[in-house]
Structure formats: structure tokens, C-alpha cells
Structure 1
Amino acid sequence: MFDLLKVAAHGLFPRLLMGAAALLGATAAQAAYPERPVRVIVPFAAGGGADIVARLVFKGVGEQLGQSFIIDNRGGAGGIIGTDAVAKADPDGYTLLLGQSGPNAINPAVYSKLPYDARKDFAPITQLTSYPYVVAVKNKLPVANLRELIELAKREPGTLTLSTAGQGSSSHLAVELFTRQAGISVIPVPYKGAGPALLDVVGGVVDMTFGDAASASKQAEAGNVKALAVTGSRRSPLLPNVPTVQEAGLPGYEASAWHAVLAPSGTPQPVIQTLHAAIVKVLSDPQLKARLAQDGIETVGSQPADFQRALETEIDKWKKVVDEAGIKLE
């Protein structure tokens, strides 16, 4: 009793009550999240792969949390515009980013200046997906497997042409990593997108490409190209008989693209945890897995800390490739 009277005499008791009330109020507010629609910025145009993934995943998240998740497409500048908008948004959980390997891991390596810091300006929530590229060559190229392709490139250095989805794109850097590890030299031919890059391999205009699994597998099944390997750490379900680059003779090689969900740095942890739990539950749905598998995409659902470590590893990995290749974009 004496202690309580002493506390009250010093005016501490009212302050303790006020602090407890504030804490309870903050907890209640966070527990109610989300109380209004959440905006998910996709830094690419509608209809593309990132947009499709965002709409599939956040439809389910909205059902889980009983609130609307509105997809906001803000394409332009290789994903920089939309990504920067999230970096500068209020960290309240009501603006999220559909991240991708390009804007979040590769742009920091290829651009000398970015309006955002990919390591510090975002709170990781989870990696959604992972998907490989397919090493596809034109039918008339006299090779039957990846080892023969590497041997041909070594016999005729600087003569084989290889189309990419654009200078500094994810597929371009996957190519640069491949040529350095294989010790070969090719002529990169940048296109405005993976589709045109693959079509010119089908037409025999260029010798090969690193294409997306969905499109390249269809062309391979139709007999229009030869699929020699996939760039991921394991085989693609779309091409189960096609080995990985590692299996085909280049140990240690791995290059995969991915999607992820991030929030502005400083977003409260209870909000991050609520979103993470809902997203991971959606990713476990067999129907969603089957739908994404049609495009050669696998679901992941990592913990926030694990994704942050993976992201920083990716940034360092591609920075080394970019520096060695002398690639810079302004």
C-alpha cells in the first residue's frame, strides 16, 4: 500500500495508466488491420507476368483478410517508377509493392543512380515465386546439348548471337553469368522483351536465347526450337526431361527470376506478420500452385528475414556480374 501511495504521490500512476492505454490502443488498431482497401503497386504494365501473379495472389489475400487489395499498375523505367512510389509511401501497410528480381536486385547493380535504396527502403514480407529461364537454340544450330553448345562457342568465339529481353534485363544478366562461368564469348542482341527475343530464334534470325519457361517450352514442344537446359536449381515441370545448366555440365550455375511482396521501410511488424500469414496461406492453395505452374512458376512463401538475406545476396551477385561485364545504364 505504501508503494502505491508513493507512486501516486509522484504522479507516476496516471502516467502508467496513460501508457498502458496507449499501448492497448495501438495493439487494437494493428489487430484491426486492414481497416480499408490496400493498394498493391505493380511496377509494370497490366497483363504481364508480374500483374498476373499480383492479381492471383492478392485476390486470395483479400478473401483471407476481408478487405480489398487493389492492383495499381505503374509501369515505366524498368520498374523504377512504381518501386520508388512504394519506397516513398507512408509505412502504414496500405501501400505494398509487387517486387521482382529486376527492380529490386538487378537495377541496383546496373543503374549508377536510383531514387530508392533497394536494401534499406523496403520491409520484406515474403518471396512469392521463383522461375527459371530456358536455354533455347534455333533448330539449325549443330548442337544437341549444352555441352556441345559450349564447345561450339569455344571453337568459334564471338560468332554466336544470343537474344535477350533488353540491355540490363534479368535474362541479359543470366546470359552474362553463363558466358563467364562457361568461359565463352557470344554476341548479345537486346530486344524489347522476351517474346520478340524468342521469336527471332524460332525464325532463325539469332542463334539462341534465354527465354521464359512458359513460352520456350511451348516452342520446344512444337519443334520450333531446341531446349538445352533450364537455368534454375532444379528442373522445370514444363520441361521435365531437360536438365538444369548445372546437370548439363556447368556446376554452380544458377539464375532464377522471382516475385515478392514488400512494404515501405518502417511498416509495423504486426502488419507485416498479418500480411505474411495471409500470403503464405494463399500460396499453399493447390489451385493457385497449379495455375502458376502452367507458366513454369513455383511458389515459395519465405519468412521476411530469409527473403531479406536472399535479396541482399542477389544484389551482391548481380553487382559482381555487372562490374565484370562493364554494364551500366543511366
Structure 2
Amino acid sequence: MQCSQHRTALLAAGFMWLASLVPQALAQSGYPNRVIRIVAPTAPGGGSSISARLIAEEMSRRAGRQVAVVDNRPGAGTRLGTEIVAKARPDGYTLLISPSTLATNPTGFKSMPYDALRDFEPITQTLFVPNLIVVHPSFPAKSLKAFIAIAKGRPGDILYGSAGYATNPHLTIELLCSMAQIRMTHVAYQGGAPSITAVLAGEVVLTASSSMSLLIPHLQAGRLRALGVTSATRSPALPDLPTIAEAGLPGFEAIQWAGLLAPANTPREIIDKLHKEVVAILSMPEMKAKLAKIGNDVKTSASPEAFAEFIKAETIKWAKVAKTAGIVPK
């Protein structure tokens, strides 16, 4: 009798557990049934934020109702907004549109409130944008090879600026120094625009920046000279400018990128649905054209796993560059 009652109790508990899963399954199959918040840990206007808004607008257009909004939460070198998503419920209604600081921040900050490789479910990369390496026109080098030759004869003498300590432009130039076996002195500025201004004013000789819209007018006017683009292929915006790899450092590549992620443990069904939807949206010619206008190239991942591997590779790559350059977290 006792065994029978025990079995009955276990069966009842099992049915109750299964019943509790039904609403969750229904909610997931009807996803999204409320508004998705895409957190952008940057100020409005940057490539990652703009791509998020384009994605949110198209998702809403397709659904015939508003299904996604962008919430800009800049601060602490993108750590503020990124932490919000890392600690959000893994239900698919809080997402992160992260720039490449996800992979570079660990090189510059001791205090990291999240683990980029553990606390997120990658969905897809959304875009990439190369840096341009530019110098003041008074500097005698007119090519990368000539610049390297001069720098080798003046170790530590040449000043270069960046958007800030341990930022992508800082690490990009340190990668160049490592591969070219030269040594320059770093000057950190509070953002990319001030570093460009510093080169224009002659405060520093060189900088790296992804702000094509700011740089191209200065290149055309002769106020700056470009030594190369840091992507593996030439930029459509400057098709006659060689890559750094073509100009003298084979294998060189350093890009800035953005991608969409969810909190860790978000159901796989939701991750797959978002991947399929976002890749389809970014494949639209009009989306590529809109992002190209601000110097960004669409780049999507074949799968969430492929994006996860890319983030891991970028994190390892920049950690090695930082170690070689003596960049330590502050």
C-alpha cells in the first residue's frame, strides 16, 4: 500500500513538473511575445548602436508591431551596459549589441564585472570596420615600409596617439610595432576624434582610427596621409589604399567589430531563431547600403558557435598583443 501511494505521489509530481514546462515551451515557440531590449553599451551614433537600431526597426516592420528597442547605456569603457546584459534573465528579452571591446577590455581593466567567454550566448557578428593608419603629412615616409625604416632608426622617439589606453586602436598600433619590430611612444586621448585632432595639430605623428567619415576628407585635402587599412582586404571606401599586409606586414589584420549576444543559458531555440532572423535582416541590400554609408561592412556568423569561436580567438589574440607590449590592466 505504501509503495502504491509513493508511486502515485511520484507520478503526480512528475505530471506537475511537465505541466510547469508547457507555458515555458509555448512562450518560447511564440517568441517574441513582448518587446526585446537591445542594450548598446555605447553612445548613440556609433556603428554598433546604429546596426542595433536598424535590426530593431526591421524586426518590428516584419512583425507588424514593435518587437525590439535599443537602450543605450554607455559608460566605463562599455562595461556598464555589458554588465546589465550579463546579469539579466536569460529569457531572450534582454540582448547585447557589443563592440569589439568585449574582447579587448580584459587587457586594460583589472575590475571586470563579467566574463566575456562565460557569461554570454553569442548569436552572430553583425559588422566589422577596419582602422586606417594615418600620419601627419610632414612626416617624410610616404609608405609603410618607409615609415618602418625611419622608426627603426628612432626607437621610442616617434609619438603615436590612440582613442585611449588598451583600446582597439592602441592595440592595433602595438601589433604593428611588434610585427615590424619597432618601438614608438604611446599618447592616450579621450576618444578617437581627439587622437585624429592631435595628428592634424602635429602633437603626435600617427594614429589608428575606424572613423572613415572623419578621416577621408582630411586625406583628400592632404591634411593626413594614410599608410594602409588594417583589414585583410581593401576597403571599398578607399579601394586604392593597400592593406597593411600588402604594404609590408604579411598576415597583419586588426579590425573593430560588433555582434549580438544574449545572457548565458538563454534557451537554444531562442538563440537559433534570433540568429536566423538577424542574419536574414543584415543580408538585405538596403541594410548593407545603410551601414556602408557610415564606413561599416556587414559581417554575419555562419552559426552561434562560429561567433563564439571568433570572440575567443579575438580575446586570445589581443591578450598576447597586450602582454608583448607591456600593457597591464589598470
Q: Same fold (TM over 0.5)?
A: yes
Structure 2 unaligned blocks of 5 or more: 1-6
1:29, CA displacement in angstroms? 1.5
**Structure 1 match to 2:46:** 48
In the alignment, is the contact (CA less than 8 A) between 2:107 and 2:329 conserved in 1?
Answer: no
1:112, CA displacement in angstroms? 2.3
**Structure 2 match to 1:153:** 151
Equivalent position to 1:122, from 120, 123, 137: 120
Mapped partners of 2:121, 2:149: distance in 1 = 45
**Structure 2 match to 1:63:** 61
**Structure 1 match to 2:4:** none
Q: Which amino acid aligns with 1:129?
A: L
Equivalent position to 1:134, from 128, 132, 140: 132
Structure 1 unaligned blocks of 5 or more: 1-9
**What is the correspondence of 1:163-182 to structure 2 with a 5 Å cutoff?**
163-182=161-180
1:159, CA displacement in angstroms? 1.6
**Structure 2 match to 1:74:** 73
Mapped partners of 1:219, 1:291: distance in 2 = 23
Does 1:191 pair with 2:206? no
Q: Does 271-280 or 118-127 show the bigger shift?
A: 271-280
**What is the correspondence of 1:233-244 to structure 2 with a 5 Å cutoff?**
233-244=232-243
1:79, CA displacement in angstroms? 0.6
**Structure 2 match to 1:319:** 319
**Structure 2 match to 1:226:** 225
Q: Which amino acid aligns with 2:70?
A: I
Alignment identity in percent? 40
Mapped partners of 1:110, 1:208: distance in 2 = 21
Q: Which amino acid aligns with 2:29?
A: A
1:22, CA displacement in angstroms? 5.3
Q: Does 122-131 or 295-304 show the bigger shift?
A: 295-304
- Equivalent position SS for 2:243: coil
**1:96-134 Cα deviation digits (max 9, x unpaired):** 1111111x1001222223110111000101100111100
**Structure 2 match to 1:94:** 93
Mapped partners of 1:106, 1:161: distance in 2 = 22
1:298, CA displacement in angstroms? 0.9
TM-score (norm 1): 0.91
1:18, CA displacement in angstroms? 6.1
**1:147-172 Cα deviation digits (max 9, x unpaired):** 11111111222121111001111110
Mapped partners of 1:171, 1:227: distance in 2 = 15
- Equivalent position SS for 1:246: helix
In the alignment, is the contact (CA less than 8 A) between 2:47 and 2:296 conserved in 1?
Answer: no
Does 1:278 pair with 2:277? yes
**Structure 1 match to 2:3:** none
Mapped partners of 2:133, 2:236: distance in 1 = 15
**Structure 2 match to 1:300:** 299
**Structure 1 match to 2:26:** 28
> Is the alpha carbon distance of 1:224 and 1:57 closer, same or farther for their aligned partners in structure 2, counting shifts above 3 Å?
farther
Mapped partners of 1:16, 1:192: distance in 2 = 58
Mapped partners of 2:117, 2:209: distance in 1 = 28
**Structure 1 match to 2:141:** 143
1:17, CA displacement in angstroms? 6.6
In the alignment, is the contact (CA less than 8 A) between 1:214 and 1:238 conserved in 2?
Answer: no
In the alignment, is the contact (CA less than 8 A) between 2:106 and 2:329 conserved in 1?
Answer: no
Mapped partners of 1:74, 1:113: distance in 2 = 18
**Structure 2 match to 1:6:** none
> Is the alpha carbon distance of 1:76 and 1:13 closer, same or farther for their aligned partners in structure 2, counting shifts above 3 Å?
closer
In the alignment, is the contact (CA less than 8 A) between 1:98 and 1:259 conserved in 2?
Answer: yes
Mapped partners of 1:257, 1:73: distance in 2 = 19
TM-score (norm 2): 0.91
Mapped partners of 2:67, 2:126: distance in 1 = 19
In the alignment, is the contact (CA less than 8 A) between 1:145 and 1:228 conserved in 2?
Answer: yes
1:278, CA displacement in angstroms? 1.3
1:205, CA displacement in angstroms? 2.6
- Equivalent position SS for 1:143: coil
Q: Which amino acid aligns with 2:296?
A: I
Mapped partners of 1:168, 1:14: distance in 2 = 58
1:15, CA displacement in angstroms? 7.5
